[in-house]
Amino acid sequence: ADSGDHYDLVCVGGGNAAGYLAKTLVDLDWAEGKKVAIVSGEPVAPYERPALSKAFLHPPGAKVRARLPGFHTSVGGGGDRQTPEWYDEHKIDLMLSTMAVSLDAGAGKLTVQGAGQSERAISFDKLVLATGAKALTPADIKTENPDLGNVFTIREEAEALEMVQTLEANQDNFKDIIIVGGGYIGMETAAAFSGWGFNVTMAFPEKHLMQRLFPESVAEVFENYFSAKGIKLMKESMVTGLVPSESDNSAVGGVKLKSGDVVNADAVIFGVGSRVDTSLAESAVKLGEGRTGGYAVDDSMRTSNDKIYAIGDVAALNGKSRYEHVDFCRKSAAQAATAIAEGRDMPKMDYLPYFYSRLFEYTETPLIFQFYGDSSTDGASIEVFGNVDAAMETSGNDKVPGFGAAWVDASTQTVRGLMYCNGTPEQYDTAKNAVLTSAKFSPTMLD
Ligand code: FAD
C-alpha cells in the first residue's frame, strides 16, 4: 500500500463499541493529529444497537419511533450524536459498506473490500477488533425451509428496517406474527408488535420466559403481563421448520413445531441468540479460553499481539469473560482508546456486568428492568422480593409496582447479582451498590 493507505489506527467493525472508541479518541484529542479509520460492513455510521428491538419497533403513531440519525452513538451514553458529519469533522475515515476480508498481522496489513469494489490493502500501526456478533439465522439452527420470505432476524439496522417496512406495508393483510425465542430480544419484539394490532405468539423451548436469567416467579410476572396484553406464549415449543404460505410459496405461512403441529404465521421473527465470529484474526491472536469464544484481552483490551486490541462483544476479558452488553462496549472502548492514546497499561478493570431491557415503552405502563452482577446459580439461591405479589395481580393496563430478585451467595448470604424491575433511579443505584459492596441480602434492601 502507498502511504495514503497507512493508518495510525484501524478499527474493524462499526457497531456500538466502535462508536464509543471514536468518542474516547476524540475526547482525548488523539484523533485530530492521527489517521484513524473505521471499517464497517454496515452502510450507516455506528449507532446504539439496543434501540433496534425497542423504540425502533414502536407501533405506527407512537410518540417515539427511533430512526437514524436519531440514535447514532454516543447518544445512549450521553455524548454527541456521531453522524457521518461528526466523523468528517474529526477526520476519522468512516469506510461504510466495507468488509475487512483478511488480516496479515505480521505485516500490519488488512485487506478490505467495499460493496461492488475490488479488494485493497490498508496498513496500520494499531488495530482494534470490534466485529461484534451476528444473529443466529433459521439456517444456522437447522430450521427446515430457512429461506422463505417474511422471516427476519434483528442484528443490523438494515434488517430491522426491512422488517418494519414489510410490516407497515402489510398492516392490513398480516394477522399472525410468530416470535421464535423467549429471551430478551424475543420479549422486546413481542411487546412492540403487540402494539401494532397483530396477533403475536412467542414460541420457545424453555419452561418460561428468560429462563437463562429469570427465576420462575419473576418470569411469571412478565408472562402474566404479556398474556394480559394479548401475547400468546407457547412454552416448551421447539420450532423445527418454516412452512410456505399456500398463496405464495416463496413466503412463510407458518412454523412447524417439533410436535408436528403447524401454527399459522404471516411473518416470523427469530430471536434465538447470536454468535461471535473470530475468523478474521483467529490465527493472529489468542482466543478466549474453553467455550468463551472471542479474542483474549488484558485490562487494556490488548490481545496476545501488542498491536491488536479487541473491544465489545468479541473481547474476552482476561481470556475468560465475554459480555454482550452495551455497557461493556462503552467501558471496553474507553479502556482501549485510553491505553492507545496515552500509550500506557490500564489499571485492572473491575467490570460489574450490567444489563437492561425495556418493554412496552410506547404505553403508559412500561416494564423496565436492570440487572447487575453475576447471575450464575452455582452456590447461590435466588430470593424474590419487593411487590412481587401485587405485580402478579396487574391487568396489563396497570402500572407494575417495583419488584426484584437477588442472587445470594449461599455461604455468606451476600448479594452477587440483583435484578430490579420498574425501580426508581435511587433504587437502581442502591441495587448496583449492593452488588459492588457484596451487601448482606435483605428483602427490604431497596426500600
Ligand atoms: P456490534 O454492535 O454488533 O457491531 C459489530 C459491527 O462490526 C457491525 O457493524 C458489523 O457489520 C461489523 N463487522 C463484522 N465483521 C466485520 C468485518 N469483517 N469487516 C467490517 N465490519 C464487520 N445490550 C444491552 O446491554 N442492553 C440491551 O437492551 C440490548 N439490546 C439489544 C437488542 C438487539 C436487537 C441486539 C442485536 C443487541 C442488543 N444488545 C443489548 C447487545 C448490544 O447491542 C451489543 O452488546 C453491542 O451492539 C455489541 O457491540 P459491538 O460493537 O461489539 O458489536
Per-residue pLDDT of the chain in tens (447 residues, 90 and over written 9) = 344 599 999 999 999 999 999 999 999 999 888 999 999 999 999 999 999 999 999 999 999 999 999 999 999 988 999 999 999 999 999 999 999 999 999 999 999 999 999 999 999 999 999 999 999 999 999 999 999 999 999 999 999 999 999 999 999 999 999 999 999 999 999 999 999 999 999 999 999 999 999 999 999 999 999 999 999 999 999 999 999 999 999 999 999 999 999 999 999 999 999 999 999 999 999 999 998 999 999 999 999 999 999 999 999 999 999 999 999 999 999 999 999 999 999 999 989 999 999 999 999 999 999 999 999 999 999 999 999 999 999 888 889 999 999 999 999 999 999 999 999 999 999 999 999 999 999 999 999
Give the ligand 1 atom nearest the CA of 333: 51
- End-to-end, the C-alpha distance of the chain in Å comes to 62
Cβ of 181 less than 6 Å from ligand 1:
no
- The residues that bridge with 252 in the sheet, in sequence order, are 244
Nearest partner of 153 among 15, 269, 252, judged by Cα: 269
Cα–Cα distance measured from residue 255 to residue 398, given in angstroms and rounded to the nearest whole number: 33
Ligand 1 centroid to residue 298 C-alpha, Å: 21
Do 23 and 49 form a contact (C-beta atoms < 8 A)?
A: no
Cβ of 132 less than 6 Å from ligand 1:
yes
Cβ of 189 less than 6 Å from ligand 1:
no
- Three-class SS of 50-82: HHHHCHHHCCCCCCCCCCCCCCECCHHHCCCCC
Cβ neighbours around 443 below 10 Å, total: 12
Cell of 230: 394479548
Task: Give me Rg for the CA atoms of the chain.
Answer: 23
Cβ of 11 less than 6 Å from ligand 1:
no
